[in-house]
Amino acid sequence: MRGRELRAQASQFLNAYRARRENLQFAAKRLLAAEEAVRERRLRAQRLPGDVLEKLQQARLTYYHAASDAIEAEALLLDGRAHVLAVVPEACGSASSEVTGPRVELAVFRGQEGGRAGRMTMGSVARTRGTEPSRDYAVAADGSGKPAGVVKLGTCIWNAGPLLKKADDADDVWRQFATRGIRRALVSFTATEIDALSERTAQDRLRRFIKSAKSREIRIELLLGEPTWILPRHRGDLLSVIRKLRSIPFAALNLDLEPNQLDERALGKEYLLKELLATLASVKSISPWPIALSLHPRYLKERVGAVEFGKRLADLELDEITLMVYVRNPDRTAEILTPILKAYPEVKFSVAQSIEDTLPREESHFSAGFAQLQRRMRRLAKSLPQPNFNGIIVQAWSYFDAMHP
């Protein structure tokens, strides 16, 4: 019995180590991209008038964040390496030798105004640049830099109540997540379930579920969606829900507040966007979690007063904006996202893709099947190396079972 437990523990540690190595490879790629952005902004600042100095500072801030993420990723990798070596003797061959293979080495940020913004050195720069992004929700890769396994995705789980009931026996849930590459779950609850979460027993069950997910490096985030919360008279309802759940250690709060689900013609698009900003500001003032917003990209160019809505969102400093780009062609999706990522380098963006069987064929990957979905998502992730691209979220979990392989 003891031997089986040790083997299971060793396997768990080794899988965690591999995931952390993938995270470091992607962090390295983000850092290279951020460094290049600083170099480009510095050249522009030397030659062009306007707000280029502000954009240079924004690029530097993005670089600092990318460098911090890379250092954290390397620290986690070293911690994972220690765990593996503690249970796998060197004599065990491939398992132990795997953790001593090539790794990314990160130099400190030099911060010299006249020189480069900092440099990252690696055992093999070419190898790291050749890998696909593989942070949470991106693309898995092995130590050689070749694609391996499934694309890491986020997903929306609109009816999370049944999952919560499995909090104390969730192995089957984690197997399903692993099979589908889910590393990030946005969970939503009914009004009745939210009321039930005011009770200690239900709260403890949810905490155990989140803790179990975290031990497998899966993020559990709260998903709240009701368009009327945009309006002043219903805003308090959203704040009330947040106050009820604020003691739960969700990794983030995702708001799905879509103005187009209200009467834009009668209320006015600018009015709704203005009130959406007010709702977000109110949420930010009380939320214990980082805040993300789902949004159709067309709204970024709309004006609220004299300023574009996208700029006003950037000023709110949300943790993330998820752009709903329901286009099944990954090249077209990347074409839509790339200028947005470049226009707002200080904002983290993820992209939502659909596998819903109720949408037209050109908007959903459902009819293509899971294998084709994986190929498309790998291509999409590879097409978006920008440091502020934060991954892919699939709408929605309930449709995975019905997809053909």
pLDDT single digits (tens) 261-271: 999 999 999 99
SS3 300: helix
Count of domains forming the chain: 2
Question: Which CATH number covers residue 94?
Answer: 1.10.287
* 48-103 per-position pLDDT tens digit: 665 667 677 777 877 877 787 788 778 878 877 887 777 766 545 555 555 554 44
Same domain for 21 and 105, yes or no, is yes
Task: List the pLDDT tens digit at each of the 405 positions of the chain.
Answer: 466 766 766 777 777 777 777 768 767 767 877 777 777 677 666 666 656 676 777 778 778 777 877 887 788 788 778 877 777 665 455 555 555 544 444 433 333 333 443 333 333 333 333 333 334 334 333 333 333 456 789 999 998 988 888 878 888 899 999 999 999 999 999 999 999 998 999 999 999 999 999 999 999 999 999 999 999 999 999 999 999 999 999 999 999 999 999 999 999 999 999 999 999 999 999 999 999 999 999 999 999 999 999 999 999 999 999 999 999 999 999 999 999 999 999 999 999 999 999 999 999 999 999 999 999 999 999 999 999 999 999 999 999 989 998
CA distances from 3 to 10, 81, 99 (A): 10, 21, 22
Q: Which residues of 142-180 are buried (b: 16+ CB within 10 A; e: fewer)?
A: bbebebebbbbbbbbbbebeebbeebeebeebbeebeeb
Element (H, E) at 230: none
Q: Do 274 and 376 fall into the same domain?
A: yes
Q: Are 41 and 394 in contact (CB under 8 A)?
A: no
Based on the domain organization, do 115 and 174 belong to the same domain? no
Is there a single domain that holds both residue 116 and residue 39? yes
User: For residue 144, is it within any domain?
Assistant: no
Q: Is there a single domain that holds both residue 115 and residue 232?
A: no
Q: Write down the pTM of the prediction.
A: 0.67
**Same domain for 172 and 122?**
no
Structural domain for 60, as ranges: 2-130
Considering the domain architecture, whether residues 195 and 241 belong to the same structural domain is answered as yes
Same structural domain for residues 212 and 98?
Answer: no
- Boundary-marking domain end, from 130, 158, 181: 130
